[in-house]
Amino acid sequence: MDRVILHSDANCFYASVEMLHHPEYDGLPLAVGGDAEKRHGIILTANYIAKRRGVKTGSALWEARQACPGLIIVPPNYDQYIRFSGYLREIYSKYSDRVESFGLDESWIDATHSVGIRGDGLSIANEISRDVKNELGLTVSIGVSWNKIFAKFGSDYKKPDAITVIDRENYRRIVWTKPAEDLLYVGRATKRKLANVGICTIGQIAEADPDYLQGMLGKHGLMLSIFAHGEDKTPVAKENTDAPMKSIGNGMTMPRDLVNDMEVKMAFYMLSETVATRLRENHFAGNIIEIYVRDNDLMGFTRHHKIPVPTNISDEIARNAMALFLANYRWHKPIRGVGVRVAGLKGENYPYQLDLFNSEERREKQLAADRAVDEIRKRFGTAAVQRGLMYFGPDITPRKRQEQTIHPHSYLERGNLTMG
């Protein structure tokens, strides 16, 4: 029996969440983007009013304003989007214990074992769509198919607030007639290579000899052949086995150049505290610590390190960040900017192997202390509790906290492609 796979995509997600919190913008063109005051950055998403007036995702702010005079641009609030992403997954989890995030706004849902209780895939999709509207005030587009690739294609096929069923009877008519770039993992470079040999539609990818595609594109070509035929059997991951994004981080350009290890340590602790707070607020922990360092000639580098136990403890993040810095930087120039990122995210209660060299009792005390500081700062402000370390350089304070960048998971990073 075929699986019943749904792919749900929240329409104009960032912009839709902003509209919920800003009813005064109702009926107006709105986009979420970079720093409008500094006139730099790009459009992350826009509502449909703005899109109809020519605002495109990825365009520069000045281009968007030219296309749509009067466009309202608001900065991204990722903590808010992560929270609503969690609400969406809570709704999906009522229908299956296999809910796999593909970014904050997209999820696959394996509803195979729910069909006997809740009806066919279309019925389940209708229920999910209704629940999202009633509970969150958002809309989703949902694709229903027997595999993840065609389910995602279906959610992209009609927008907004639509449901598309792609089954074994209609997939040639719906999927195969569409441009090659509508298939997952056909980017600009791949599209160009395929077009050079006369392959311009998904159907033509399916009809091409898999060995020929593999010779031209390597393993990527064989994968696209599998995708085009709907033969991918890659499972939907178990609920809560991964966070909906790859990483949470924070970075800043310092008010003045840093000139010694102590000042860098202060910066890393400040950044690590904000990162750890975000992790705890969203119930994540991660086992990859990454730093970014840029000197006053704007030359920079990144380094990362995998730790044995996932963490959302500020001291552990800062100590690992500082160790990376000391191992990789020699003081030839002052430092202008630094960043800290935690990746490899899991749910904070995800089971892990205990580390013999790490005291769990000590870690629990550190986490309890961090949570206590979180509560005090929520009530009385960030400055209510500070580490003594910060008083060694009170002029090294962030002028503006820079929000993390959200990177979706790669379709292939959770395991190898599976085909029948």
Catalytic residue numbers read 106
- Integer distance in angstroms from the first to the last C-alpha of the chain? 13
- Distance of alpha carbon 221 from alpha carbon 117, whole angstroms: 39
Q: What tokens does 220 get?
A: 């990527």
How many CA atoms lie less than 13 Å away from 237 in the CB half-sphere?
20
Question: Which of 5, 3, 56, 7 is CA-nearest to residue 156?
Answer: 7
What sign has the CA pseudo-torsion 253, 255, 259, 262?
negative
SS3 of 413, please? coil
Angle of the 210-217 helix axis to the 188-196 helix axis, nearest 10:
120
Q: At what angle do helices 13-21 and 78-92 cross, to 10 degrees?
A: 100
SS3 224: helix
Residues 314, 332: Cα–Cα separation, whole Å: 29
Contact 418, 233 (CB under 8 A): yes
d(CA 111, CA 114): 5
Contacts (Cβ under 8 Å, ≥6 apart) of 411: 102, 148, 184, 185, 234
Q: What angle do CA 221, 3, 113 make, to 5 degrees?
A: 150
Q: Report residue 399 CA to chain centroid gap.
A: 26
What is the spatial distance between Cα 124 and Cα 122, in angstroms, rounded to a whole number? Answer: 5
- What is the C-alpha to C-alpha distance for residues 161 and 163, in angstroms, rounded to an integer? 7
Question: In whole angstroms, what is the distance from residue 317 CA to residue 266 CA?
Answer: 13
What is the per-residue DSSP string for 308-375? EEEE--HHHHHHHHHHHHHHH--SSS-EEEEEEEEEEEEETT---PPPTTS-HHHHHHHHHHHHHHHH
